[in-house]
């Protein structure tokens, strides 16, 4: 009898887990969307540098080619005691081992009006809606005011793309901490501010948002900031499914796991990607999710075979943070490199990882490969390719940002 393995979610972690398991096993992947969204590049949708189709990898086709079952549905209940995961429309899915890879959900931190009047920055669909609103604003006469809540990675990348496509907009960037990009070297905060100097950008730090209205953002210190469009990049929180399954100690928390990615609260259940909280926390990056999915799949098989589980070892890959046409940061430990040419590295990572996850082995995936490549060109057709080559030759303005003194 084949071993029944259910994977919840088909993002980076869920997809990599599925393709890491042999077709000899009975694998069912349940996801509420048929694609894996390439979230590290969704900021490029704001400036139309990428199309939504370029960032939606065919997870369903890839999983089926691996010999597994794909079910388009949302898992609404996990019963770890009876080894059942229930889909909203597909009913019960029984498992011998379960891999939960549900990512996170938008965190509004209880701010009044944030869920009604601010646009989230969590998915391809979210960023496509933001792009549409930006374009509608640009078509109107008068001043255009945009507020970005959150000065972390997503907020800074959103700012860069708006400056690329809508350089005359007035933008207010609000960060609750003492500086932008708080988990990176301080030199990045200074560089972002310096690059913003020619534009109509106001940066607020150590500023807490009290409420979001349809036409304004109110801060805890009493400021009333007018806004035609408010973008919320307040980060993720744990999926409600984790709490209802008993995998987390409280609502909104991430699921505690051992270093093997097995859930602390449920033997035989593995949690991969953003949903997992390791004993030694790591950043919620796509490359970690991919590696965690592979590890969770291997350990699920080891658990079913009665073999010892192996710990997940995070890789020390550098971080790439885009800042629109102004450049891109390559962060390695306490050092960073900044310049337009670094943007080519991030584009290369996108193309390489997407092709590895969903290789162009048939007409549909080959079309997706062309869509991704064409979306990387500055303009349609060969003139765009010429512009790209010109950019490669001319993008020599690279700056080394040393550690802070």
Cα–Cα distance measured from residue 104 to residue 122, given in angstroms and rounded to the nearest whole number = 9
Cα–Cα distance measured from residue 314 to residue 168, given in angstroms and rounded to the nearest whole number = 42
Which tens digit of pLDDT belongs to each residue from 20-38?
999 999 999 999 999 999 9
Q: List, for the chain, all residue ranges whose pLDDT scores fall below the cut of 50.
A: 370, 377-394, 405
Q: What was the pLDDT predicted at 208?
A: 97
Q: What was the pLDDT predicted at 317?
A: 82
CB 321 within 8 A of CB 181: yes
Cα–Cα distance measured from residue 206 to residue 204, given in angstroms and rounded to the nearest whole number = 7
Q: What was the pLDDT predicted at 82?
A: 97
Phi-psi map region of 67: left, alpha, beta (phi>0 left; psi -120 to 50 alpha):
left
DSSP state, 56? E
Cα–Cα distance measured from residue 188 to residue 181, given in angstroms and rounded to the nearest whole number = 7
Q: What was the pLDDT predicted at 377?
A: 47
Q: Which of 303, 243, 248, 277 is nearest to 98 (CA)?
A: 303
CB 293 within 8 A of CB 312: no
Q: Which of 126, 29, 111, 101 is nearest to 68 (CA)?
A: 29
Q: What was the pLDDT predicted at 375?
A: 52
CB 36 within 8 A of CB 10: yes
Please tell me the pTM assigned to this model. 0.91
Radius of gyration of the chain (CA): 22
- Residue ranges and CATH numbers for the domains of the chain are 4-106+236-305 (3.50.50.60), 114-232 (3.50.50.60), 319-401 (no CATH)
Beta strands in 176-316 (DSSP E): 201-204, 209-212, 216-219, 224-226, 229-232, 236-238, 255-256, 269-271, 276-277
Q: Which of 364, 324, 363 is nearest to 161 (CA)?
A: 324
Q: Which of 275, 308, 320 is nearest to 293 (CA)?
A: 275
């Amino acid at each position: 009898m084949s071993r029944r393995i259910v994977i919840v979610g088909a993002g980076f972690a869920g997809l990599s887990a599925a393709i890491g398991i042999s077709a000899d096993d009975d694998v069912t992947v349940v996801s509420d969307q048929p694609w894996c969204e390439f979230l590290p590049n969704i900021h490029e949708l704001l400036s139309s540098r990428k199309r939504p189709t370029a960032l939606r990898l065919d997870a369903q086709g890839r999983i089926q080619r691996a010999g597994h079952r794909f079910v388009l549905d949302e898992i609404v209940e996990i019963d770890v005691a009876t080894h059942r995961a229930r889909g909203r429309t597909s009913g019960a899915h029984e498992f011998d081992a379960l891999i939960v890879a549900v990512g996170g959900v938008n965190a509004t931190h209880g701010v009044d009006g944030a869920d009604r009047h601010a646009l989230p920055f969590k998915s391809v669909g979210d960023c496509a809606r933001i792009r549409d609103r930006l374009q509608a604003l640009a078509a109107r006469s008068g001043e255009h005011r945009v507020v970005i809540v959150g000065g972390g990675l997503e907020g800074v990348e959103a700012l860069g793309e708006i400056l690329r496509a809508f350089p005359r907009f007035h933008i207010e960037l609000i960060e609750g901490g003492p500086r932008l990009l708080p988990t990176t070297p301080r030199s990045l905060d200074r560089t972002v501010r310096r690059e913003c100097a020619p534009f109509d950008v106001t940066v607020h730090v150590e500023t807490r948002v009290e409420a979001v209205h349809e036409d304004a953002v109110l801060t805890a210190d009493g400021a009333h900031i007018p806004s035609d469009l408010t973008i919320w990049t307040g980060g993720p929180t744990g999926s409600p499914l984790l709490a209802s399954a008993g995998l987390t100690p409280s609502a909104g928390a991430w699921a505690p796991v051992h270093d093997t990615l097995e859930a602390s609260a449920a033997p035989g259940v593995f949690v991969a990607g953003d949903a997992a909280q390791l004993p030694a926390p790591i950043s919620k990056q796509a490359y970690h999710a991919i590696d965690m999915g592979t590890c969770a799949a291997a350990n699920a098989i080891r658990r079913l075979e009665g073999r010892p589980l192996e710990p997940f070892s995070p890789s020390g890959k550098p971080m790439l943070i885009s800042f629109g046409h102004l450049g891109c940061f390559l962060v390695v430990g306490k050092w960073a490199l900044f310049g337009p040419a670094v943007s080519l590295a991030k584009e290369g990572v996108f193309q390489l990882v997407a092709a590895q996850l969903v290789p162009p082995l048939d007409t549909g995936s080959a079309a997706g490969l062309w869509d991704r490549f064409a979306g990387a060109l500055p303009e349609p057709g060969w003139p765009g390719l010429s512009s790209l080559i010109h950019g490669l030759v001319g993008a020599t303005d690279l700056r080394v940002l040393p550690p802070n003194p």
